[in-house]
Amino acid sequence: MAFCRHLLPIINWPDHYFEYISKEKQIKHLYSDNQRYTIIQKALLHYLAGNFTNADYYKIAGRSASFHSINQILLANPERKISEVLVTPETVIY
């Protein structure tokens, strides 16, 4: 998620996600409050400041479900712009 948010800043990314506990209970969390996410985000920015190539972008994007979904939407709707893509909050299921 940190990579997609950085790579595609034109998209209005949600600032939160949901943790699925049960059908009756989902807990809303902010990315900024998630220590793991903030560590990954800092590491990503540090990594990008180095010798990051287009090939590196493709390697990471190719493994991203969010990037893949957005790509499929745009391929299926070539008349649409990336800024028109609506991204809903992620749900994490443990």
Query: Where exactly are the structural domains of the chain?
Result: 2-93
**Predicted pLDDT at 27:** 97
For the chain, what is the mean pLDDT? 91
**Predicted pLDDT at 1:** 85
**Predicted pLDDT at 61:** 82
Model's pTM, two decimal places? Answer: 0.81
> How confident is the model over 60-92, as pLDDT tens digits?
888 888 999 999 999 999 999 999 999 999 999
Section 36-57 average pLDDT: 87
**Predicted pLDDT at 33:** 97
Burial class (CB in 10 A: 0-12, 13-18, 19+), 17: buried
4 neighbors 66 (Cβ within 8 angstroms) = yes
